[in-house]
Amino acid sequence: MMRTSESKDTSAQGSPHGWRAQVSVERATAARAFGGEMGTKGSGVRHGFWSRRLAGGTVATALALAPQLASADEVGESFWTPGSFGSLAATASQPGFSLASTYYHTSASAGSEVARARLIRIGRAAVDENVSAISISPEDLATVTPSYAFATPVLGGQAAIALTATYGRKRTTSDAVITTAPRDTPFATTRFDTISDVVTGFGDLSPQLSLRWNAGVHNVMTYLTGNIPVGAYSPVRLSNIGIGHSAFDGGAGYTYFNEKTGYEFSAVAGLTYNFINPYTQYQSGVDVHLDWGASRFLTKQLQIGLVGYLYNQASCDGGSGDRVGCFQSRVAGAGGQLGYTIPMGELEGNVNVRAYKEFAAANRPEGWNLWLTYTLSPAEATTARSAPPTRRVSAK
């Protein structure tokens, strides 16, 4: 594994406390690239031109992040990246191999609670000290997600598998005022601490499995994904691309898509179970998330719409390494999207851009993020284009 890191610490008073050994792991999300079509054999004919484009654009985004771009839970960072799914998340696509590439940029800042948790983890603040701080974390990640959608029906729908890999750079800067309560003297002591470090390297791997079914304008999907902690991670560093522990995430989604009008609406909900971090003995709580998208195709190639997400930690953090308490997090985001499909003979490309502004955050960084995804997938077969529409049978 290739990775490089650099760090720079400055403080007006006080030196870093020693910590246990460090290891590497990278953030994982979001990988979310599922290409797939469900339903009967003839479903590719009916959804061929429209659904492949949407599915392709959102497929790459889901779970990829993938870029495992993540954040409360431990120090405000989670396995799931809000916004991983978008429009047409549950629609069908052509069987075969697809490749999705995503550039993810986020610029977020966190208040005293998150900054305090990070400083305690790396040994720059004690549990009984008061911390007033701000932490800023710009991040740039690139993910690649190869996927394969099976032509043979599974449980009446279409199965697809995918694997997301991440590479990126993250910088974190914390400016803190740390106050220590009186101990041996009658006066409290205050020190100013500025810490900044950068990490560049690979992220965690995220495998995915999905199933999709179709019945007319209604589409349903279910998915299962997880985090394999092999990315750049260290418990004594502010910046990490990995999260340092394994996780499982599963959920279900629905898409309404009317090809005649071009209108669609999609929503995907899921749960994340986090395993204990072996380097910190910290276990993040169970996370609940909802991603949604609403759009309209102005032409058969141009799509425009709205996107959003809700993220909430349903249970408290725990483990022997939890020194900050329950630390439940939440955040919401909303924004817009633009998509365009490029015919390329036997293949077709889909470019999708989504931007989110976050709000209502608690114990988690808040800011804005941008997703730029390019998906290359099989085009509708020539025989299918010339064939008359076939009646789609509902999956039981």
* pLDDT for residue 74: 59
pLDDT band with cut points at 50, 70 and 90 for residue 231: very high
Is the pLDDT at 112 greater than 60? The verdict is yes
User: Do 258 and 239 contact (CB within 8 A), yes or no?
Assistant: no
- Per-residue pLDDT of 336-389, as tens digits, reads 999 999 999 899 999 999 999 999 998 888 899 999 999 999 987 654 444 444
Residues sharing a CB contact under 8 Å with residue 121, sequence separation 6 or more, in sequence order? 74, 75, 235, 280
What phi, psi does 70 have (nearest 5°)? Answer: -140, 170
- Per-residue pLDDT of 161-197, as tens digits, reads 999 999 999 998 888 788 887 777 777 788 888 888 8
pLDDT band with cut points at 50, 70 and 90 for residue 9: very low
Strand 263-274 versus strand 218-227 pairing type = unpaired
pLDDT band with cut points at 50, 70 and 90 for residue 75: low
pLDDT band with cut points at 50, 70 and 90 for residue 23: very low
d(CA 200, CA 187): 42
d(CA 266, CA 368): 22
Is the pLDDT at 395 greater than 80? The verdict is no
**What average pLDDT score do residues 310-325 get?**
87
d(CA 206, CA 241): 13
Task: Indicate the average pLDDT of the chain.
Answer: 79
Is the pLDDT at 57 greater than 60? The verdict is no
**What percent of the chain is modeled with pLDDT above 70?**
76
**What percent of the chain is modeled with pLDDT above 90?**
53
- Strand partners of residue 9: 195
* pLDDT for residue 164: 97
Q: Around Cβ 22, how many Cβ atoms within 10 Å? A: 14
Q: Domain 3-13+20-386's class?
A: mainly beta
User: Do 355 and 305 contact (CB within 8 A), yes or no?
Assistant: no
- Strand partners of residue 282: 277
Structural domain boundaries in the chain: 3-13+20-386
- Of the candidates 304, 122, 112, 286, the one whose C-alpha atom is nearest the C-alpha of residue 197 is 122
- Report which of residues 201 and 382 the model is more confident about: 201
Q: At 74, list the tokens.
A: 């431990």
pLDDT band with cut points at 50, 70 and 90 for residue 103: very high
- Strand partners of residue 162: 147, 208
Residues sharing a CB contact under 8 Å with residue 294, sequence separation 6 or more, in sequence order? 87, 264, 265, 266, 305, 306, 307
Amino acid identity of residue 351, one-letter, is V
* pLDDT for residue 138: 83
pLDDT band with cut points at 50, 70 and 90 for residue 393: very low
d(CA 138, CA 107): 4
Residue with tokens 């991670």: 233
HEC string for the chain: CCEEEEEEEEECCCCCCCCCCCCCCECCCEEECCCCCCCCCCHHHHHHHHHHHHHHHHHHHCCEEECCCCCCCHHHCCCCCCCCCCCCCCCCCCCEEEEEEEEEEEEEEECHHHHHHHHHHHCCCCCCCEEEEEEEEEEEEEEEEEEEECCCCECCEEEEEEEEEEEEEEEEEEEEEEEECCCCCCCCEEEEEEEEEEEEEECCEEEEEEEEEEECCEEEEEEEEEEECCCCCCCCCCCCCECCCCEEEEEEEEEEECCCCCEEEEEEEEEEEECCECCCCEECCCEEEEEEEEEEECCCCEEEEEEEEEEEECCCCECCCCCCCCCCCEEEEEEEEEEEEEEECCEEEEEEEEEEEEEEEECCCEEEEEEEEEEEEECCCHHHHHCCCCCCCCCC
